[in-house]
Homo-oligomer: A and B are copies of this chain.
Amino acid sequence: MVRLKEELEMRGLKFTRQRKIIAQKIFSMKKHFTADELYNSLKKKYRISRATIYRTLDVLSSLGLVEVHNFGQGKRYYESISGKKSHCHFICTSCMKIIEFPSDEIEKIITNMASQHNFKINRYSINVYGLCEECARKRKK
């Protein structure tokens, strides 16, 4: 939170009521969420528009405080990255549960491939789609 304030000020951006509220909510969430979920979880208590949610998510991701994922279905998923490392996502396409795995080994391989081609990595996203144990079991029946 202090970090957010500093990062904003550093760029001549403002530490507004809305940004505070949104950031607080995001940092308290462990899971992946969509802009709409965030909006719905806030609108009861606060008067914040969808536009502000989207704009704030943009700011936070450009500050490196939030990660954006394209898990398909035309909808974006966000995730706060308070310190934790990048990881793989195993996405159950039946119940949309998302299981995370560390990706250190894979990251090494990717970094290697990138440097071979002078590709400057900004971020990466490893998404495995399929069925989680439960849903796979249900299907068999």
Contact = CB atoms under 8 A, between A and B. Distances in A.
Interface stretch (A20-28, A33-41, A51-59, A104-112): A104-112
Contact of A114 (B90, B119, B124, B126): B90
Copies of this polypeptide in the complex: 2
A70 B72 contact: yes
Given A70-B70, A70-B72, A71-B70, A123 B113 contact: no
A105 B109 contact: yes
Interface string A1-37: 0000000000000000000000000000000000000
Interface in A47-89: 68, 70-72, 74, 76, 88
Given A110-B128, A117-B132, A124-B127, 15 more contacts: A68-B72, A70-B72, A72-B76, A90-B119, A99-B119, A106-B110, A117-B133, A118-B136, A119-B132, A120-B130, A120-B132, A123-B128, A123-B129, A124-B129, A125-B129
